[in-house]
Structure 1
């Protein structure tokens, strides 16, 4: 799964990376502790043009009458996304990219304490999570919402968690965004083992209120 991630680059820089036009309404969450229900930067394609803009991280199916009318759908499993009523239409017609500079997973020690790990590309840069989106609500409640697609973890990340986000390489972006027709299902696979690195970080990130620039710093050697 993916329940927390980081995006430390400004929106305009990310939009340029994805060759997308940045929305005027670009009030998105940034920093090293982006959490569910926050507005996250997304990339989608309309009429052959890419657009970058905010969506609520937490997919709201059309039958929800309020934002809390059902479970918080921050992830969509690749194995069942095409058959789940909440996501079936979205994965066929409404796919997006969700940029990130890294994300987090947790293990537990012998006493059950949650130990956070930061996962990121070896050379830095930006990851592109596969996402699906849905416009929900009417009139003053109308908003775009999204979920991150997940798959089984690759062999390297299995030590931390059995799931991981679907991470798309630049050559796969046009297919996922629907710019090269249909048939995006084969893209929903684990990233190669060498595509990511990880290290332990401090437990401050366990709080969704944590902020600052040191959350992704590796723990000093010998720290438990």
Structure 2
């Protein structure tokens, strides 16, 4: 799964990277502790690509309120085409979610949650595969979820799931610009793509902020997934 992530790339740099027109009301960056229900940057494509903001937490059309059911921040690649909440979106409303890195947790012998920061080994931004949907009638809200898949072998040492990470060559197909047949893109990233390090437990709080959240804390620092 993916439950927290960081974005440090400025909106104009994001827009240039994805060749997208930026919206006027994008979330503030940098943000080193993006949590579920926060507004996040999302790239969508209709006649052209747009960089826009959406609520992280997909809301099915039958929810009468934002808390009317489970918080759907992730969608499993293995079942996304079958789940009533997601099946129309994965066919018709796919998006890219730019991130700088994301967090996962392991536990020590005493059961304490130990956070890890996971990022591209070469330092480049990552593009998560996402789906989106408008929710509500009077004041519609754009909502999204991150597509996840079984972890690759190195990542499985930290968590058994990981986000679907798309390379630039796959972006047009995922966004629907290059025809149909995006299902094969919902796979684990290459083993060599990611690196990781332990970070301070301060990030365990969803109220924590600041660049120090992604700084190595010296425990288990370094390595490649």
Same fold (TM over 0.5): yes
Quote the RMSD (CA, aligned, Å). 1.2
Residue in structure 2 matching 1:195, options 164, 186, 193: 193
Per-residue CA deviation, residues 49-84 of structure 1 (Å, 9 max, x unaligned), is 100010000000000000000000000000000000
| Alignment match, 1:5 | 5
The unaligned stretches of length 5 or more in structure 2 are none
Query: Aligned-pair distance for 1:28?
Result: 4.9
Residue in structure 2 matching 1:220, options 197, 214, 218: 218
Residue in structure 2 matching 1:211, options 209, 217, 221: 209
Structure 1 length-normalised TM: 0.96
Q: Which runs of 4+ in 1 moved over 2 A?
A: 27-30, 220-223
| Alignment match, 1:81 | 80
SS of equivalent to 1:214: helix
SS of equivalent to 1:173: helix
SS of equivalent to 1:144: strand
Change (3 A) 1:222 1:36: closer
**Counterparts of 1:1-224 in structure 2 under 5 Å?**
1-28=1-28, 30-47=30-47, 49-140=48-139, 142-220=140-218
Question: Given that residues 106 and 116 in structure 1 are in contact (C-alpha distance below 8 angstroms), is that contact kept between their aligned partners in structure 2?
Answer: yes
The unaligned stretches of length 5 or more in structure 1 are none
C-alpha distance in structure 2 between counterparts of 1:94 and 1:29, whole Å = 25
Structure 2 length-normalised TM: 0.96
Report the count of equivalent residues.
Answer: 221
C-alpha distance in structure 2 between counterparts of 1:222 and 1:52, whole Å = 36
SS of equivalent to 1:175: helix
